Amino acid sequence: MLTERQLLILQVIVDDFIETAQPVGSRSIAKKGDVNYSSATIRNEMADLEDMGYLEKTHSSSGRIPSERGYRYYVDHLVSPEQTAGNVQIIHNIMQDGLFEFEQIVQSSAEILSRITNYTSIILGPEVFETKLKQLQIISLSENTSVAILVTNTGHVEHRSFSVPEAINASDLEKMVNILNDRLYGVPIFKLHDKLNTEIMNLMNKYVTDFETSYDYLKAVFFSENPVKLYFGGKTNLLMQPEFNDIDKVRSFYSMIEEEDEIANLLKGASDGVKVTIGHENKVDAIKDCSLITATYELNEEQMGTIALLGPTRMEYKKVIKLLDTLSTEMSEVLYKWYQDNE
Amino acid sequence: MLTERQLLILQVIVDDFIETAQPVGSRSIAKKGDVNYSSATIRNEMADLEDMGYLEKTHSSSGRIPSERGYRYYVDHLVSPEQTAGNVQIIHNIMQDGLFEFEQIVQSSAEILSRITNYTSIILGPEVFETKLKQLQIISLSENTSVAILVTNTGHVEHRSFSVPEAINASDLEKMVNILNDRLYGVPIFKLHDKLNTEIMNLMNKYVTDFETSYDYLKAVFFSENPVKLYFGGKTNLLMQPEFNDIDKVRSFYSMIEEEDEIANLLKGASDGVKVTIGHENKVDAIKDCSLITATYELNEEQMGTIALLGPTRMEYKKVIKLLDTLSTEMSEVLYKWYQDNE
DNA sequence: CATTAGCACTCGGTAACCAGGAGTGCTAAC
DNA sequence: GTTAGCACTCCTGGTTACCGAGTGCTAATG
């Protein structure tokens, strides 16, 4: 168990290192007002803290830096999250102010987040669970090309152009779209596939002559897999951090950032609330000296997506934790309002 | 004027340096089969080439590297562009194969280009000159929100959600959209603004009661400025180049890449055909040791956009020039086909 | 006269060394 | 329990020495 004094010293060291990125020596701690002991006493405590694994030295006679365990303890017990009023305002404004498409909200959130923090932000787009079909349509562009448009109650628009094969009859297509609109209005997007394969299937046979070809085709056009989407902000922010002075670190980091799948997986498993993952706690090698902070946003208790912030382990946890917290609840709120409006 | 032998030596040096990124010494040239002179002779010629400004030394007793002027001469007179058959195939496939939206074509072009070359590709999206309005519509999502959708003959879909102010009457909005569709069908996008302000303006007054509010609003929703769009491929490719071993260079480079406006300006003035801009010939400071190669794609003699490739001055001009050339003509072709189909 | 062999010279890169300084660990005194 | 004092460690930056790749120049060569 750590004594009061040890806690204090640990905290001071972490805070100091987060600020300066330099190893912290006993003398510099003693000079600050916070700890009223001599440098020798502090040295002894630091040695103990090192034995317990909370601190490290970069070399045998250097000052101390926090170990990952030290950060862990700091985050779990010592940090007192702060909130800058200005940031709350900024976030609030973005969220409320005339943005009516989720894509936009998410993208601006990512950007604002990275701008405020100077880290890299990643947002895992909302799963489309609660969005419902508003309208399908097909607009013919020329003899053999058309564009299919799908609108959801959240104002999301999917579209896709395609060439219409000879085999498919234009009026069949139209009939089919009409039927689909009739039957699928208000159906949640994630249920579309099921519904199509059961109910609708039978119904269609009656009305449409060359049923199978058209139907398969239509399905391909409208309901193609849309993979989870990632939104980034400040991808190059981390370049400015001194821990990235090593060009090779930069290289491995950015080759990993390109692997969207890997990142999506990282964020996908996020648990509720704000969670901090430090250094090697991360599975992925390229961010083993980064910290990842995640928060989730939700709708009706149902998790919709993840907001994440990626920075050096020496991250300003103090500011960042609360920030993610407010942003995620703010997003959940906006989501909720929508849901009510567009039920 | 340069002698045959000088030309040969210059060429060998540039080729060699492009490949290895190392200063080229007289002895290593002599050892290659290409130049059958002793190293001393070659040294003399190199000294002359340096006097004329085509070569440089990194320090007083180093081998030579091409100066910017050397690259310029090389590009203008010495390089014999090659084409890898495989690449032509790849590009051709992408272009012809089931991509029916311009956005998609452009994005995949950018990606393929960067993957083939290992440089960073930038494409300036097509100006919408020749695209024409196919359909406007407004779909109501809830009492007070709607989504506006604009479809062009090229299959491009713009959409935007908005909240409907109290002041605006729903049926007025509908009437107006009907009228607009009637009158604006087939009108080139870039003429929409004009047309709206003249003809349509008067017409509308007759049918719609509270004309002005609704109209202004509609205009804002449908015809908001859409800025020129940039598509990137392989943003982080240049990290791998040895000239970016210097972390500060990396930093300044990537802060400049974020400035989309600046880049758009760079590409906007591009002249027809393939153009190579080397080092300080570029206006922008952060790419003063990069080369930028641009090509334009067009429709009916009218320039539509720019494809660009950004790499170190030590770029593989040989491969890259032809590549950009074929890609740009291929894009022009696809564009042309569309135009015919969707006239 | 163009070419080439030979040689002294230059300079970057690496390793070795040194002094200065920041910081530690330990001992002994308070 | 705390702290002053001191020897020790190791990083940092500057200096020196040396090696090797490459040059420039001169003199010899065909």
CATH number at residue B65: 1.10.10.10
Tell me the pLDDT band of A337, cut-offs 50, 70 and 90.
Answer: confident
DSSP string computed for A228-269:
--EEEE-TTGGGGSGGG-SHHHHHHHHHHHH-HHHHHHHHHT
Q: Which nucleotide is nearest to B39 (CA to C1')?
A: C4
Residues of chain B with pLDDT under 70: 97-100, 127-130, 203-214, 217-218, 221-227, 341-343
Q: Measured between CA atoms, how close is B135 to chain A, in angstroms?
A: 8
Q: Do B149 and A157 touch (CB under 8 A)?
A: yes
Distance A253 CA to C25 C1' (A): 38
Q: Measured between CA atoms, how close is A158 to chain B, in angstroms?
A: 9
Q: For residue B238, what pLDDT is reported?
A: 95
Helix (H) or strand (E) holding B120: strand B120-124
Is residue B285 domain-shared with residue B204, that is, in the same domain?
no
Q: Determine the protein residue whose CA lies at the shortest distance from the C1' of C10.
A: B61
Cβ A60 to strand D below 7 Å: yes
Q: Is the pLDDT of residue A83 over 90?
A: no
Q: Which nucleotide is nearest to A26 (CA to C1')?
A: C23
Q: Which of A161, A258, A335, A339 should we substitute to test contact with B (largest number of B Cβ atoms within 10 Å)?
A: A161
CA neighbours within 13 Å on the CB side: how many for A21? 9
CA-based max dimension of chain A: 92
Q: Do A247 and B244 touch (CB under 8 A)?
A: yes
Distance, in Å, from the CA atom of B181 to the CA atom of B175, rounded to the nearest integer, reads 10
Question: Is B119 a member of any domain?
Answer: yes
Tell me the pLDDT band of A53, cut-offs 50, 70 and 90.
Answer: very high
Q: Which nucleotide is nearest to B59 (CA to C1')?
A: C11
Structure tokens at A15: 């805070």
Question: Is B135 a member of any domain?
Answer: no
- Find the residue in B nearest to A134 (Cα): B141
Q: For residue B63, what pLDDT is reported?
A: 93
| A144 interaction partners in chain B (CB closer than 8 Å) | 341
Chosen domain end from B195, B222, B249: B222
Structure tokens at B277: 């801009």
Cβ A232 to strand D below 7 Å: no
Is residue B63 domain-shared with residue B178, that is, in the same domain?
no
- Find the residue in A nearest to B102 (Cα): A161
Q: Measured between CA atoms, how close is A306 to chain B, in angstroms?
A: 23
Is residue A163 domain-shared with residue A187, that is, in the same domain?
yes
Q: Which chain B residues have any C-beta within 8 angstroms of a chain A C-beta?
A: 98, 100-101, 134-135, 139, 141-145, 147, 149, 151, 153-155, 157, 159-163, 235-236, 239-240, 244-247, 250-251, 254-255, 257-258, 341-343
> For residue B265, what are the domain limits?
85-127+229-342
Q: Is the pLDDT of residue A131 over 80?
A: no
Kindly report, residue by residue over A227-283, the tens digit of the pLDDT.
678 999 999 999 999 999 888 889 999 989 988 888 998 898 788 889 999 999 998
Cβ A21 to strand D below 7 Å: no
Q: What is the mean pLDDT of residues A51-79?
A: 96
Name the pTM for this structure: 0.85
Total number of domains constituting chain B: 3
Chosen domain end from B164, B195, B222: B222
Chosen domain end from A195, A222, A249: A222
Chain position carrying tokens 């908001």: B224
Q: For residue A76, what pLDDT is reported?
A: 97
Is residue A319 domain-shared with residue A252, that is, in the same domain?
yes
Question: Is A11 a member of any domain?
Answer: yes
Question: Is A158 a member of any domain?
Answer: yes
Question: Is B69 a member of any domain?
Answer: yes
**Residue A306 near residue A270, CB atoms below 8 Å:** yes
Is residue A116 domain-shared with residue A255, that is, in the same domain?
yes
Tell me the pLDDT band of A291, cut-offs 50, 70 and 90.
Answer: very high
| B239 interaction partners in chain A (CB closer than 8 Å) | 247, 250-251, 254
Single-letter code of the amino acid located at B4: E
CATH code for the domain of B336: 3.30.450.40
Q: Is the pLDDT of residue A99 over 60?
A: no
- Find the residue in A nearest to B239 (Cα): A251
Is residue B74 domain-shared with residue B90, that is, in the same domain?
no
Is residue A48 domain-shared with residue A150, that is, in the same domain?
no
What interhelical angle do A317-341 and A4-20 show, nearest 10? 80
Cβ B21 to strand D below 7 Å: no
Q: Determine the protein residue whose CA lies at the shortest distance from the C1' of C5.
A: B40
Cβ A41 to strand D below 7 Å: yes
Is residue B245 domain-shared with residue B312, that is, in the same domain?
yes
Is residue A207 domain-shared with residue A257, that is, in the same domain?
no
| B147 interaction partners in chain A (CB closer than 8 Å) | 100, 151, 155, 157
Single-letter code of the amino acid located at B102: F
Give the alpha-carbon dihedral of A158, A163, A167, A171, to 10 degrees.
60
Q: What are phi and psi of B292, to 5 degrees?
A: -120, 125
- Return the higher-pLDDT residue of B208 and A156: A156
Q: For residue A100, what pLDDT is reported?
A: 62
Is residue B146 domain-shared with residue B123, that is, in the same domain?
no
Is residue B94 domain-shared with residue B24, that is, in the same domain?
no
What interhelical angle do B247-257 and B260-268 show, nearest 10? 80
Kindly report, residue by residue over B171-229, the tens digit of the pLDDT.
877 888 888 889 889 888 777 777 777 777 776 666 666 666 667 766 776 666 556 78
Where do the DSSP E strands lie in chain A?
A: 55-57, 64-66, 120-124, 133-140, 145-152, 157-163, 230-233, 275-278, 290-299, 302-312
Q: Measured between CA atoms, how close is A176 to chain B, in angstroms?
A: 20
Question: Is A137 a member of any domain?
Answer: no
Distance, in Å, from the CA atom of A322 to the CA atom of A119, rounded to the nearest integer, reads 15
In this structure, what DSSP letter does residue B75 have?
A: I
Is residue A299 domain-shared with residue A246, that is, in the same domain?
yes
Question: Is B134 a member of any domain?
Answer: no
Q: Which nucleotide is nearest to A39 (CA to C1')?
A: D3
Question: Is B136 a member of any domain?
Answer: no
Q: Measured between CA atoms, how close is A232 to chain B, in angstroms?
A: 13
Q: Do A151 and B139 touch (CB under 8 A)?
A: yes
| B151 interaction partners in chain A (CB closer than 8 Å) | 139, 147, 149
Q: Which nucleotide is nearest to B29 (CA to C1')?
A: D22
Q: For residue A173, what pLDDT is reported?
A: 78
Q: Is the pLDDT of residue A324 over 90?
A: yes
Buried b (16+ CB within 10 A) or exposed e, B68-103: bebbbbbbeebbeeeeeeebeeebeebbeeebbbbb
Q: Name the average pLDDT for chain A.
A: 86
